[in-house]
Structure 1
Amino acid sequence: MTEITIDLVTNNYDRKLFVDLPFRLYRDDPSWVPPLKGEALGLITPAKNGWFSHAKAQLFLAYERGRVVGRISAHIDTLALTMPAEQGFGPGVGQWGLMEAEREEVFVALLAEAEDWLRQQGMTRALGPISMSIWEDPGLLVHGFDHPPTIMMGHAKPVYREWIERAGYRRVKELLTYDLDITKGFPKIVQRIVASGRANPRIRIRPVDKSRFKDEAALILAILNDAWSDNWGFVPLTDPEIDDVGIKLKPIVFNDLISIAELDGRPVAFMIALPDLNEAIKPLNGSLLPFGWAKLLWWLRKPQVRTIRVPLMGVIKELQASRMASQLAFMMIENIRSAAVANYGATRSEIGWILDDNKGMRSIAETINSKVNKIYNIYGRDLRELGGKLPASTSSEFRDRLPRRSKMARFWHFHMPY
Structure 2
Amino acid sequence: MRPWNIHVRSSLGQFYMKKKISGPHFPEVIVRPVRSYREMGIFIDIPWSIYADDPMWVPPLRLERRLHFSRFNPFFKHGKWQAWIAYRDDQPVGRISAQIDQLHRERYGGHTGHFGLFECIDDKEVSAALFQMAEAWLGAEQTRHVTGPFNLSINQECGILVDGFDKPPVVMMPHSRRWYGRLLEEQGYQQAKDLLAYWIELDFKVPRLMDALIGKFADQVHLRTLRRDKFNEELEVLRDIFNDAWSENWGFVPFTQAEFAELGASLRLLVPDDCIQIAEVDGVPAAFMVALPNLNEIFAELNGHLFPFGWTRLVRIRSRGGVRTGRIPLMGVRRRFHNTPLGMALAFMVIDAPRELGRVMGVKAMELSWILEDNKPMRAILDSLGCREYKRYRIYQKML
By the TM > 0.5 criterion, same fold? yes
When the two structures are superposed, what TM-score results if normalisation uses the length of structure 2? Answer: 0.91
RMSD between aligned alpha carbons?
A: 1.3
Q: For the residues of structure 2 that align with 1:26 and 1:17, how far apart are their CA atoms?
A: 15
Q: How far 1:343 sits from its partner (Å)?
A: 1.6
- Confirm or deny: 8 A CA contact 2:99 2:152 kept in the other structure: yes
DSSP 3-state at the match of 1:190? helix
Which is bigger in relative contact order (C-alpha 8 A, separation at least 6)?
Answer: 1
Q: How far 1:305 sits from its partner (Å)?
A: 2.1
Distance change in 2, residues 1:248/1:104 (3 Å): farther
Instruction: Render the CA deviation track for 1:227-264: whole Å, top value 9, x for unaligned.
Output: 11111111111222122212233222221111111111
DSSP 3-state at the match of 2:291? strand
* Alignment correspondent of 1:192: 212
* Alignment correspondent of 1:406: none
Letter in structure 1 aligned against 2:381: I
- Confirm or deny: 8 A CA contact 2:204 2:385 kept in the other structure: no
* Alignment correspondent of 2:38: 13
* Alignment correspondent of 1:64: 88
DSSP 3-state at the match of 2:353? helix
Instruction: Render the CA deviation track for 1:19-67: whole Å, top value 9, x for unaligned.
Output: 001012112211111010011122222x120100000000001111211
Q: Are residue 24 (structure 1) and residue 43 (structure 2) matched?
A: no
* Alignment correspondent of 1:148: 168
Q: For the residues of structure 2 that align with 1:318 and 1:153, how far apart are their CA atoms?
A: 29
Q: How far 1:369 sits from its partner (Å)?
A: 1.0
Q: Are residue 132 (structure 1) and residue 149 (structure 2) matched?
A: no
Q: For the residues of structure 2 that align with 1:257 and 1:249, how far apart are their CA atoms?
A: 10
Letter in structure 2 aligned against 1:287: H
Q: For the residues of structure 1 that align with 2:322 and 2:210, how far apart are their CA atoms?
A: 27
Instruction: Render the CA deviation track for 1:115-150: whole Å, top value 9, x for unaligned.
Output: 000001111111111111111111100011101111
Q: For the residues of structure 2 that align with 1:63 and 1:249, how far apart are their CA atoms?
A: 38
* Alignment correspondent of 2:119: 100
- Confirm or deny: 8 A CA contact 2:201 2:365 kept in the other structure: yes
Letter in structure 2 aligned against 1:282: A
Q: For the residues of structure 1 that align with 2:264 and 2:291, how far apart are their CA atoms?
A: 15
Q: Are residue 340 (structure 1) and residue 365 (structure 2) matched?
A: no
Q: Are residue 213 (structure 1) and residue 237 (structure 2) matched?
A: no
Q: How far 1:273 sits from its partner (Å)?
A: 1.0
Of 263, 275, 279, which aligns to 1:261?
A: 279
- Structure 2: any 5+ residue segments left out of the alignment? 1-25
Q: Which 10-residue stretch deviates more, 147-156 or 234-243? A: 234-243
DSSP 3-state at the match of 1:262? strand
- Confirm or deny: 8 A CA contact 2:194 2:372 kept in the other structure: yes
- Structure 1: any 5+ residue segments left out of the alignment? 85-89, 384-418
When the two structures are superposed, what TM-score results if normalisation uses the length of structure 1? Answer: 0.87
Q: Which 10-residue stretch deviates more, 133-142 or 300-309? A: 300-309
Letter in structure 1 aligned against 2:395: I
Of 203, 214, 218, which aligns to 1:183?
A: 203
- Confirm or deny: 8 A CA contact 2:96 2:130 kept in the other structure: yes
DSSP 3-state at the match of 2:230? helix
Instruction: Render the CA deviation track for 1:68-126: whole Å, top value 9, x for unaligned.
Output: 11100000001100114xxxxx3211000101112222111101000000001111111
Q: How far 1:359 sits from its partner (Å)?
A: 1.5
Q: Are residue 355 (structure 1) and residue 372 (structure 2) matched?
A: yes
Letter in structure 2 aligned against 1:213: F
Q: Are residue 250 (structure 1) and residue 275 (structure 2) matched?
A: no
Instruction: Render the CA deviation track for 1:137-173: whole Å, top value 9, x for unaligned.
Output: 1110001110111111000001111111121111010
Q: How far 1:306 sits from its partner (Å)?
A: 1.7
Alignment of 1:10-409 (within 5 A): 10-45=35-70, 47-84=71-108, 90-102=109-121, 103-198=123-218, 201-337=219-355, 339-383=356-400
- Confirm or deny: 8 A CA contact 1:302 1:344 kept in the other structure: yes
Q: For the residues of structure 2 that align with 1:304 and 1:70, how far apart are their CA atoms?
A: 35
Q: For the residues of structure 2 that align with 1:184 and 1:355, how far apart are their CA atoms?
A: 23
Q: For the residues of structure 2 that align with 1:116 and 1:71, how far apart are their CA atoms?
A: 15
- Confirm or deny: 8 A CA contact 2:111 2:144 kept in the other structure: yes
- Confirm or deny: 8 A CA contact 2:74 2:259 kept in the other structure: yes
DSSP 3-state at the match of 2:60? coil
Q: Are residue 4 (structure 1) and residue 21 (structure 2) matched?
A: no
Q: How far 1:283 sits from its partner (Å)?
A: 0.4
- Confirm or deny: 8 A CA contact 1:186 1:368 kept in the other structure: yes
Letter in structure 2 aligned against 1:139: G
Q: Following TM superposition, where does structure 1 have runs of at least 4 consecutive aligned residues deviating by more than 3 angstroms?
A: none
Q: For the residues of structure 1 that align with 2:110 and 2:227, how far apart are their CA atoms?
A: 40
Sequence identity percentage? 39
- Confirm or deny: 8 A CA contact 2:272 2:318 kept in the other structure: no
- Confirm or deny: 8 A CA contact 1:210 1:254 kept in the other structure: no
Q: How far 1:191 sits from its partner (Å)?
A: 2.4
Instruction: Render the CA deviation track for 1:390-413: whole Å, top value 9, x for unaligned.
Output: xxxxxxxxxxxxxxxxxxxxxxxx
Q: Which 10-residue stretch deviates more, 248-257 or 105-114? A: 248-257
DSSP 3-state at the match of 2:265? helix
